Amino acid sequence: MMIGEKEVILALMFAVIVLSLALVQHARGGEQQLCQLEPRDPSWSYRTKVGGRSDKCWYEGRRMKPRRELYWAETPAIAPEQGPWEMEYRWSDPNGWSHKE
């Protein structure tokens, strides 16, 4: 059984399509990954200087991942909780002490 000219052309077209898809995927880059403070597995890698922080950004995957593909989660700003007793002692001391010397 001989391979005909049509089969060769179809195989070349298939190879070109597969190669094109691989190049497009490479050009788009990898997915964004969330930085962790500590590795969860010995195979994890880290980058420094991600998002202007000095912490090591640990992530799962190959070494030297581009920094643009790594990010830190935003920490929510939480106001400190104040109980009613804090307001009492802030303005008046039960022993009569004042800030005057």
Summarize the confidence of residues 73-92 as an average pLDDT: 62
* Helix spans in 3-101 (H): 5-28, 84-91
Q: Decide: 70 and 47 in contact? Cβ < 8 Å.
A: yes
User: What pLDDT was estimated at residue 33?
Assistant: 94
Whether residue 48 lies inside any domain: the answer is yes
Whether residue 7 lies inside any domain: the answer is no
Q: Decide: 34 and 53 in contact? Cβ < 8 Å.
A: no
Which residues partner with 57 through β-bridges?
47
Q: Decide: 31 and 69 in contact? Cβ < 8 Å.
A: yes
pTM of the model: 0.48
- For residues 3 and 25, what is the distance between their CA atoms, to the nearest angstrom? 32
R_g over Cα of the chain: 30
Q: Which domain holds residue 65?
A: 32-74
Residue 32 structure tokens: 């964004």
Whether residue 93 lies inside any domain: the answer is no
Pick from 43-47, 77-81, 94-98 the range whose average pLDDT is largest. Answer: 43-47
Whether residue 95 lies inside any domain: the answer is no
Whether residue 47 lies inside any domain: the answer is yes
Whether residue 92 lies inside any domain: the answer is no
User: What pLDDT was estimated at residue 18?
Assistant: 82
Q: Give per-residue pLDDT as tens, 8-44.
A: 888 888 888 887 776 665 555 678 999 999 999 999 9
* Helix spans in 29-72 (H): none
Whether residue 6 lies inside any domain: the answer is no
Whether residue 45 lies inside any domain: the answer is yes
Number of domains in the chain: 1
